[in-house]
Amino acid sequence: MYKTTMKIDGMMCGMCEAHINDAIRSAIPGAKKVKSSHGNGECSFVSENKPEEAKIREVIEKTGYTLISVSSEISEKRLWGRK
């Protein structure tokens, strides 16, 4: 599994978080545990395959927010197996 973390500028409230989460879920079908925080300006999710950075950039730009950075790291599957 990969954990991808994005720094996003422009989120102001829970609606913004939901907007980003929905955009990620629909663009990256394997994305799980999609979470955003407007307080931290961060969004993260886990996926089986490493997502393409260009794809993420495109998705976030379409939402109207600004992607500052994105990084994916290998994550132990068992850490993410809990519901």
Residues that bind Cu ion (CB under 5 A): 12-13, 15-16
Which residue's CB is nearer to Cu ion, number 16 or number 27?
16
> Residues with Cβ < 8 Å from 4, sequence gap 6 or more?
44, 45, 46, 47, 50, 51, 56, 70, 71, 72
Which residue's CB is nearer to Cu ion, number 34 or number 46?
34
In the complex, minimum distance from the CB of residue 37 to Cu ion, in angstroms, rounded to a whole number = 12
Which residue's CB is nearer to Cu ion, number 36 or number 72?
36
